């Protein structure tokens, strides 16, 4: 393909600084340049009479220099007076070269562009852009683009490079006629328009990306993204996985029988969706999402039971040791009575114990292996890994998911993959970045939960909060008290957990107050958690180590200090540690003013809703998709042009077209992906 080859401008033996800067911006192929769109435009297509200038508005005037002199008032400056038929304008330069003074000598005709200020002494422009012209120098025929550039890349150089890239790029229509939404221009027309809009163009429509030319681009981009996801999905469907089918009366049924509760309707439904996937000889790639406390663990255990019943092993990986340990205890409690062997592998399991666990996994003797990132280390071998479960999947990267899948490569089979997350993916994101993922949603909480009431206080009310806690604790309540940092940092004045622990111990004299933070040894952490779980401890002062998954149903009060320092998803996760039992729960957010705007919207969202989906939607609003995705990025390139909120209709159109294009015009689909994603498309399939 021509657009994949030559780099502009003509190749030289060694690259100049601007060329390197262009590469850094990803401007390598002609098509990359053609797709490098202006940030804004300058209007050099018209001349405004000096008398018609408005205060603070950019404009271009043309006139003849009346005089030009260096003045030494408070500071040295160059003052140039320019005159046209309607009036005079003063140009003021606070920094200037002698050459400029020469350039603007009397009687020279100048075209001047800048923002006018109309003051007591008349009209002036400070540091305008000045060009020497003749009386017949033509005006620009189109608006002048201003591109995203960098310090090493002068605007003028980039403008030339883009113009020639645009001229050279192969912009022939790839899409067959009739498939592009009506009213959109061709790609070539759209790009020409956006790089060089006519004088009549609405700067507003351009700036707000509402112009049909913009829509065409967004559609193209969304389509390429949908196509690449669809391809990845189809390629995965060609892989082979062991078909895992639980036997009637098998392990999963036995597990259901020993559970101390009935599954909710939602849990039953998702468990069936997962079981159907497992029974197929294609690898499952499913996300199980459900709000905090919705009961994902038991669904995971049921999936594990099916896999094990079918004669395969299951690995369950959690992002923190505390969470892994909690899963381990819970699963042992459920599964060992059924005769299963559960192994436990984390960074802190060492020496002989570790050796034993590794052997149990490698021999297949341990049907279930639970642990942290340690589970994917090379040394950990499985005899027959059939199912990998990743809890709180957004805490893991693509590489780690791939590593888990590769654990079965020796047999030329892929294991099934079940990912779990309490942070739901908003619909538009699910349709784009996670199009290659099947999603099961638990949309119902187990019965008997009472809603959590959230209250927001400033730091000055801390005393009242402590008083309330004293009363609650005397009444048998259990409390989490969350602090943001472990140790006092000189730069950030945060109350540290240790200090808070000492204070609360004194303030709540007679009640057991424990401390949990990331610098403690795993054994100490486990001991503290055990005390809190058993009810022997009333208050647990903790850092965010308790953020994910910790489950102590009796805890009903959560205090988060410096709540303004946490992200929305994190606050929601933390709050999810309470409201797990029948007791009415309260979450208190203490903040230190002043609050930033985003800080305000986060606390407001927390106070207004406990619905994880609503929280995720607002989080996306506050942060935008780029940050929202964070480490969840599935390796997909963030969209450059389309806005998932605003462009949902275009997304729907692209999503509908993608399968049709791939089936009926596979070659066009290929070219579309290559044009937009270049070499990144390959990575998506990895
Ligand atoms: P999460 O989805 O946040 O991982 P968990 O799996 O930790 O939630 O479940 C939260 C709590 O609810 C646990 O104590 C669990 O045993 C309990 N639970 C799960 N399902 C049910 C149910 N159907 N009925 C009653 N309690 C349940
Ligand atoms: Mg969980």
Residue 111 CB-half CA count within 13 A = 16
In this prediction, residue 628 carries a pLDDT of 53
pLDDT by residue (tens digit) across 560-583?
Answer: 999 998 888 889 888 988 988 778
Does residue 53 surpass a pLDDT of 90? yes
pLDDT classification of 548: cutoffs 50, 70, 90: low
Higher-pLDDT residue of 399 and 199 is: 199
Nearest atom in ligand 1 to the alpha carbon of residue 263 is 23
The residue whose C-alpha atom lies closest to atom 5 belonging to ligand 1 is: 295
Distance 294 CA to ligand 2 centre (A): 8
Does residue 677 surpass a pLDDT of 90? no
Higher-pLDDT residue of 80 and 322 is: 80
Q: pTM value?
A: 0.69
Q: Which of 48-62, 159-173, 611-625 has the lowest mean pLDDT?
A: 611-625
pLDDT by residue (tens digit) across 269-292?
Answer: 999 999 999 999 999 989 999 888
Write down the mean pLDDT value for the chain. 86
Does residue 546 surpass a pLDDT of 80? no
Among the bound ligands, the one closest to the CA of 445: 1
Q: Sheet harboring 452-458: ordered strands across?
A: 452-458, 585-591, 555-560, 478-482, 539-542, 513-516
Determine the residue of 290, 296, 446, 555 to mutate for testing ligand 1's pocket, defined as the one with the most ligand atoms within 8 A of the Cβ atom: 446
Residue 625: both structure tokens together? 């998709």
Among the bound ligands, the one closest to the CA of 330: 1
Residues of the chain with CATH 3.40.50.300: 251-442, 452-609
pLDDT classification of 485: cutoffs 50, 70, 90: low
- Rounded mean pLDDT, 412-419: 89
pLDDT classification of 684: cutoffs 50, 70, 90: very low
Distance 340 CA to ligand 1 centre (A): 22
Instruction: Provide the b/e sequence for 308-326 (b: ≥16 CB within 10 Å).
Output: bbbebbbbbbbbbbbbbbb
Higher-pLDDT residue of 522 and 427 is: 522
Domain 46-139 has CATH 2.40.50.140: yes
In this prediction, residue 233 carries a pLDDT of 82
Distance 318 CA to ligand 2 centre (A): 9
Task: Looking at 68-115, list the stretches that DSSP marks H as alpha helix, in order from N- to C-terminal side.
Answer: 98-103
Nearest atom in ligand 1 to the alpha carbon of residue 580 is 11
CA distances to 1, 174, 563 from 674, rounded to whole Å, are 9, 11, 45
The residue whose C-alpha atom lies closest to atom 15 belonging to ligand 1 is: 295
pLDDT by residue (tens digit) across 355-410?
Answer: 999 999 999 999 999 998 888 887 888 999 999 999 877 666 666 766 777 776 66
Does residue 430 surpass a pLDDT of 90? no
pLDDT by residue (tens digit) across 455-479?
Answer: 999 999 999 999 999 999 999 999 9
CA distances to 50, 140, 533, 543, 656 from 180, rounded to whole Å, are 46, 32, 59, 52, 11
The residue whose C-alpha atom lies closest to atom 25 belonging to ligand 1 is: 446
pLDDT by residue (tens digit) across 582-617?
Answer: 788 999 999 999 998 889 999 999 999 988 888 888
Q: Strand pairing of 285-290 and 342-345?
A: unpaired
Q: Are 169 and 33 in contact (CB under 8 A)?
A: yes
Nearest atom in ligand 1 to the alpha carbon of residue 448 is 25
Determine the residue of 295, 574, 577 to mutate for testing ligand 1's pocket, defined as the one with the most ligand atoms within 8 A of the Cβ atom: 295
Region for residue 381 given its phi and psi (left: phi exceeds 0; alpha: psi -120 to 50; beta: otherwise)? beta
Distance 647 CA to ligand 1 centre (A): 37
Report which of 487, 466, 601, 484 is spatially closest to residue 538, judged by C-alpha positions.
466
Residues of the chain with CATH 2.40.50.140: 46-139
In this prediction, residue 145 carries a pLDDT of 94
Nearest atom in ligand 1 to the alpha carbon of residue 296 is 2
Does residue 130 surpass a pLDDT of 60? yes
In this prediction, residue 16 carries a pLDDT of 85
pLDDT classification of 665: cutoffs 50, 70, 90: very high
| 245 C-beta neighbours (distance < 10 Å), count | 15
Distance 131 CA to ligand 2 centre (A): 66
Pocket (CB within 6 angstroms of ligand 1):
261-264, 267, 290, 292-298, 422, 446, 549, 551, 553, 580
Helix axes 597-608, 568-575, angle to 10 degrees: 30
Q: Are 216 and 184 in contact (CB under 8 A)?
A: yes
d(Cα 45, Cα 136) in Å, to the nearest integer? 14
Q: What is the DSSP track for 301-353?
A: HHHHHHHHHTT-EEEEE-SSHHHHHHHHHHHHHHHGGGT--EEEE-TT--HHH
The residue whose C-alpha atom lies closest to atom 20 belonging to ligand 1 is: 295
Determine the residue of 287, 293, 418 to mutate for testing ligand 1's pocket, defined as the one with the most ligand atoms within 8 A of the Cβ atom: 293
Helix axes 612-629, 568-575, angle to 10 degrees: 140
Hey, which CATH number is domain 452-609, 3.90.1170.50, 3.40.50.300, 3.20.20.140, 3.40.50.920? Answer: 3.40.50.300
- Rounded mean pLDDT, 324-341: 85
Q: Which of 243-257, 292-306, 422-436 has the lowest mean pLDDT?
A: 422-436
Euclidean distance between the first and the last CA atom of the chain, given in angstroms as a whole number: 23
d(Cα 655, Cα 653) in Å, to the nearest integer? 5
Distance 108 CA to ligand 1 centre (A): 81
Q: Which of 245-254, 325-334, 546-555 has the highest mean pLDDT?
A: 245-254
Nearest atom in ligand 1 to the alpha carbon of residue 262 is 23
The residue whose C-alpha atom lies closest to atom 22 belonging to ligand 1 is: 446
The residue whose two tokens read 């903790």 is: 542
Higher-pLDDT residue of 190 and 76 is: 190
Architecture in CATH for domain 251-442: 3-Layer(aba) Sandwich (3.40)
- Rounded mean pLDDT, 242-265: 93
């Amino acid at each position: 393909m021509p657009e994949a080859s030559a780099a502009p401008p003509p190749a030289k033996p060694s690259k100049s600084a601007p060329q390197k800067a262009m590469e850094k911006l990803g401007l390598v192929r002609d098509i990359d340049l053609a797709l490098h769109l202006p940030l804004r435009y300058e209007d050099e297509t018209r001349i405004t009479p000096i008398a018609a200038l408005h205060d603070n508005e950019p404009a271009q005037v043309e006139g003849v220099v009346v005089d030009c002199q260096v003045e030494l008032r408070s500071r040295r400056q160059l003052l140039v007076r320019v005159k046209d038929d309607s009036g005079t304008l003063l140009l003021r330069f606070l920094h200037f070269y002698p050459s400029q003074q020469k350039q603007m000598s009397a009687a020279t005709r100048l075209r001047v562009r800048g923002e006018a200020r109309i003051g007591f002494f008349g009209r002036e422009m400070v540091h305008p852009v000045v060009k020497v012209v003749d009386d017949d120098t033509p005006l620009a025929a189109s608006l002048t683009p201003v591109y995203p550039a960098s310090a090493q890349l002068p605007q003028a150089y980039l403008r030339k490079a883009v113009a020639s890239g645009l001229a050279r790029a192969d912009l022939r229509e790839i899409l067959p006629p009739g498939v592009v939404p009506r009213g959109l221009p061709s790609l070539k027309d759209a790009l020409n328009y956006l790089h060089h809009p006519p004088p009549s163009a609405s700067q507003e429509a351009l700036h707000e990306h509402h112009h049909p030319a913009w829509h065409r681009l967004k559609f193209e981009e969304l389509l390429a993204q949908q196509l690449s996801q669809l391809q990845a999905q189809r390629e995965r469907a060609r892989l082979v996985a062991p078909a895992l089918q639980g036997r009637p009366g098998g392990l999963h049924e036995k597990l259901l029988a020993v559970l101390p509760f009935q599954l909710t309707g939602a849990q039953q439904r998702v468990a069936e969706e997962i079981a159907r996937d497992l029974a197929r000889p294609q690898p499952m790639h499913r996300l199980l999402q459900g709000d905090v406390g919705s009961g994902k663990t038991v669904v995971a255990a049921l999936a594990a039971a099916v896999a094990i019943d079918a004669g395969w092993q299951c690995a369950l990986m959690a992002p923190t040791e505390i969470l892994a340990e909690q899963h381990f205890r819970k699963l042992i409690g459920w599964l060992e009575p059924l005769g299963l062997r559960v192994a436990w592998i984390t960074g802190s399991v060492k020496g002989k114990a570790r050796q034993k666990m590794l052997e149990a996994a490698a021999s297949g003797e341990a049907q279930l292996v639970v642990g942290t990132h340690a589970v994917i280390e090379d040394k950990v071998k499985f005899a027959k890994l059939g199912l990998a479960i990743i809890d709180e999947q957004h805490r893991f990267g693509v590489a780690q998911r791939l590593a888990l899948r590769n654990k079965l490569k020796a047999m030329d089979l892929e294991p099934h993959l079940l990912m779990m997350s309490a942070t739901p993916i908003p619909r538009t994101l699910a349709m784009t970045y996670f199009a290659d993922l099947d999603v099961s949603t638990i949309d119902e909480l187990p019965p008997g939960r009472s809603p959590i009431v959230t209250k927001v206080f400033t730091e000055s009310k801390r005393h009242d909060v402590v008083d309330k806690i004293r009363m609650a604790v005397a009444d048998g309540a259990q409390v989490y008290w969350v602090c943001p940092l472990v140790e006092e940092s000189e730069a950030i004045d945060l109350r540290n957990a240790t200090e808070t622990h000492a204070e609360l111990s004194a303030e709540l004299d007679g009640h057991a107050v424990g401390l949990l933070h990331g610098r403690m040894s795993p054994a100490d952490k486990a001991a503290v958690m055990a005390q809190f779980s058993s009810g022997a401890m009333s208050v647990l002062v903790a850092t965010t180590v308790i953020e994910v998954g910790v489950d102590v149903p009796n805890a009903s009060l959560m205090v988060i200090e410096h709540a303004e320092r946490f992200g929305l998803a994190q606050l929601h996760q933390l709050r999810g540690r309470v409201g797990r039992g029948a007791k009415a729960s309260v979450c208190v957010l203490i903040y230190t003013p002043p609050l930033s705007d985003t800080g305000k919207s986060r606390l407001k969202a927390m106070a207004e809703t406990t619905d994880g989906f609503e929280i995720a939607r607002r989080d996306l609003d506050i942060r935008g998709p780029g940050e929202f995705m964070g480490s969840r990025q599935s390796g997909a390139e963030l969209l450059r042009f389309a806005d998932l909120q605003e462009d949902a209709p275009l997304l729907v159109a692209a999503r509908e077209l993608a399968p049709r294009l791939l089936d009926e015009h596979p070659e066009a689909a290929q070219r579309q992906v290559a044009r937009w994603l270049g070499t990144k498309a390959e990575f998506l399939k990895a």
